Structure 1
Amino acid sequence: MKTTTQVQLSLMMFLEFFIWGGWFVTLGSYLPNSLNTSGAEIAMAYSTQSWGAIIAPFIIGLIADRFFNAERILGILHLIGAFLMYQMANATDFGAFYPYVLGYMIAYMPTLALVNSVSFNQMNDPAKQFSFVRVFGTIGWIVAGLLISYAFHWDSEEGVSSGMLKNTFLMTAIASACLGVFSFTLPKTPPKVGKNQKVTISEILGLDAIKLLKDRNFLMFFLASILICIPLAFYYQHTNQFLSEIKVTDPTGKMTIGQASEVVFMLLLPFFFKKFGFKKTLLVGMLAWAVRYILFAYDNEGELAFMLIIGIALHGICYDFFFVSGQIYTDSKAGEKFKSAAQGLITLATYGLGMLIGFYVAGQITDANAYLKGDGHDWQSIWIFPAIFATVVMLLFAVFFKNEKIEYKE
């Protein structure tokens, strides 16, 4: 792969995840403070990610893989996203906001697969080359958070109360427009299949891999993947809101510690996976979710403020040790014939079904623990729920999943 191509792909990844991190993290703070939304309405907004994940395979399978170059669809979707993001910034109530965020996520979620397709199409050794490109996506997410907190101060107490978080949508709209235009300069990535080749719904959604559920271990992993998304949804949906309510300074900037730890633990994952095996790696990942929420529940702004930082820093273990390990496990169980279908099935189960349930549950729990008088929530009671839930999932997995040796391929 040429150096100029690697630079192009790295910039593409940077902008792709700068866009996501530039508004999604602070959405939970923006909605109740600027549009006076309830927890259930916040859940509706976040669940658009799940609807986007469910619809994305149809856009990829029926359009991108058959009729148009991936880089062109990527550009079109981001230009559409720029318009919708601008409209989100100007919405004055949740009724007007929701259709735009739903449309935006339906447009954005397919781009996650498209940037991978564009990247892989240019690589002669993806196993070695992709990580050096993908890491710029994590850097983009981190830079977005640092800008919001430390350069613009949009998430400060004064910024939130005065509606300055609206600017995150404008910043994202500009970045999305830039990526939309830039995408048309990317290396050509032609359709994978012919226009006349039949594609079934089962193939698009990865349902051809459903026969893997006959394997008890894979079934246990599949169910655990769905269930663990419930505590995961609490983190994405309410952490920024929680930090803002308890008056933590620069909450979005501090949350980038989670992405930094993701890079560190990604590097440690091969060692841990080889030494302790798949089952223990997943159990550590699930345990980290429980520990994180206990730390959130019992912290305070004074002497125990360090517990918040530790809880955020656990994100690397929470995500990498469960979800990345799960992708490796799925790949090993599927075999050559069903590799893509199996990964599609797990993505549909987690970011689709699992997160959809999780966002709904998180919204209900948060509303149930809102103070009747005055602003704010009983966050200790809120965080205890996902802590207990993650612990139960971990224990059930420990009991019913029989250990098996899985080869880690770097």
Structure 2
Amino acid sequence: MVSFLLAVLVVPLYSLAVPVLLETMGVHENWVPTVMLVGQVSEFPALMLLAFCLKRLGLRVTFALGITAWAIRYGLFSAGTPWWLVIVGLALHGVCHVFLVIVAQLYIDANCRADLRASAQNLLSFVTLGIGMPLGALLGGLLFEKFKHNFEILFAIPSVAALGLLLLFWKTVHIGGGHATDATTSEQVNSI
């Protein structure tokens, strides 16, 4: 449920609004993809950090860190200046995605019977990417049209939504003992 809500309320606005934010900050439109590449490059260090966090903090806290990273990221975009805040927000891309997507997949693998794992992974993908992302793109488009000249409000909305989802997740989802002690999860963490 949290992954679905993140896909609807938080994720899609990034690709709609951040390029425009960068252009208003003086980045020529031809250079916007290059600047946004900071986010994709950050995925590799995030993957390295993921193994450490899973071993030390467990699935629940690591997933919560991913949600928190989204809230911080959009908060930084909302502030908009100085320029380095936006770059830090772009660099959080790796933690935002890796700490959510891979942790959710590890959780499903660790908690589903072997004969249901593929179906459960497909269901997660369908619900988040097949339903959540299109709904989020529609909502993000509406928000962008309404607030495209006010980036503070535009980016504050998903930041607050991510904080609300973090609270919902923390209050409703209880995973194991907090650390990656489950044998299956430990094996998966060691393979990262």
TM-score between the two structures when normalised by the length of structure 2: 0.89
2:161 match: 389
Q: In structure 2, the residue corresponding to 1:335 is in which secondary structure? A: coil
Deviation at 1:236, TM superposition (A): 2.3
Q: Partners of 1:353 and 1:253 in 2: how far apart?
A: 30
Q: Deviations over 1:307-339 (max 9, x none)?
A: 011000001110001111111111111121111
Deviation at 1:252, TM superposition (A): 1.2
Of 278, 287, 290, the residue aligned with 2:59 is: 278
More RCO (CA 8 Å, sep 6+)? 2
Of 142, 147, 151, the residue aligned with 1:364 is: 142
Q: Do the aligned partners of 2:66 and 2:98 also contact (CA within 8 Å) in 1?
A: yes
TM-score between the two structures when normalised by the length of structure 1: 0.43
Q: In structure 2, the residue corresponding to 1:403 is in which secondary structure? A: coil
Q: Partners of 1:242 and 1:331 in 2: how far apart?
A: 38
Q: Partners of 1:272 and 1:246 in 2: how far apart?
A: 34
Of 235, 246, 249, the residue aligned with 2:25 is: 246
Structure 1 unaligned regions, length at least 5: 1-222, 371-376
Q: Partners of 2:125 and 2:17 in 1: how far apart?
A: 22
Q: Deviations over 1:231-263 (max 9, x none)?
A: 111112221122123322422111111111101
2:171 match: 399
Greater C-alpha Rg: 1
Q: Partners of 2:27 and 2:113 in 1: how far apart?
A: 48
Q: Partners of 2:51 and 2:151 in 1: how far apart?
A: 36
Q: In structure 2, the residue corresponding to 1:385 is in which secondary structure? A: helix
Q: Partners of 1:387 and 1:337 in 2: how far apart?
A: 38
Q: Partners of 2:139 and 2:172 in 1: how far apart?
A: 25
Count of aligned pairs between the two proteins: 179
Q: Deviations over 1:161-210 (max 9, x none)?
A: xxxxxxxxxxxxxxxxxxxxxxxxxxxxxxxxxxxxxxxxxxxxxxxxxx
Q: Deviations over 1:280-327 (max 9, x none)?
A: 001000000000011001122xxx110011000001110001111111
Of 209, 212, 232, the residue aligned with 2:11 is: 232
Q: Deviations over 1:54-103 (max 9, x none)?
A: xxxxxxxxxxxxxxxxxxxxxxxxxxxxxxxxxxxxxxxxxxxxxxxxxx
2:44 match: 263
Q: In structure 2, the residue corresponding to 1:388 is in which secondary structure? A: helix
1:175 match: none
Deviation at 1:379, TM superposition (A): 1.1
Residue 330 in 1 paired to residue 108 in 2?
yes
> Structure 1's 403 and 333: CA in aligned 2 closer, same or farther, altered over 3 A?
closer
Q: In structure 1, the residue corresponding to 2:27 is in which secondary structure? A: coil
Query: Which AA in structure 2 matches 1:285?
Result: G
2:72 match: 291
1:70 match: none
Q: Do the aligned partners of 2:16 and 2:144 also contact (CA within 8 Å) in 1?
A: no
**RMSD over equivalenced CA pairs, Å:** 1.3
